[in-house]
Homo-oligomer: A and B are copies of this chain.
Amino acid sequence: MDETTEQLNRAFAALADPTRRNLVARLAGADATVGELAEPYDMSLQAISKHVKVLEDAGLVTRSKEAQRRPVHLDAEVFGLMTKWIERYRQEAEERYRRLDALLGRMADDEDQKQTHTKDAS
């Protein structure tokens, strides 16, 4: 499997968990340590440490390696990959939808015209 594919696998999987999305949301405001991140949750520090590792493996987050107190920092790059993927297909879908809409519009016009003709003939 190609590298981008695996990166998307990990990134989407990482954001599928609400706790991890919440971590991302908080990290968007400011860097934080695992301890600070863990504080508000009713969950062990180890659990949060694991969540952070998942985000890190997905490339969504980086950490300064000043071990003991290793602040976590949000990294925008992979997010870009994800939106690029999503937007591509969303736009195709919407384009197709617009074309279908236009087609239905034309069919309705034809229908109107038929009725007009009928009316004219009557």
Contacts and interface: CB of A to CB of B under 8 A. Distances in A.
Interface stretch (A7-15, A34-42, A45-53, A104-112): A7-15
Number of copies of this kind of chain in the complex: 2
Nearest to A84: B83
Interface residues of A, number: 35
Interface of A: 1, 5, 8-9, 12-13, 15-18, 21, 24-25, 27-30, 74-76, 79-80, 82-83, 85-90, 92-94, 96-97
A39 B5 CA distance: 21
A12 B16 contact: yes
B90 A79 contact: yes
A16 B13 contact: yes
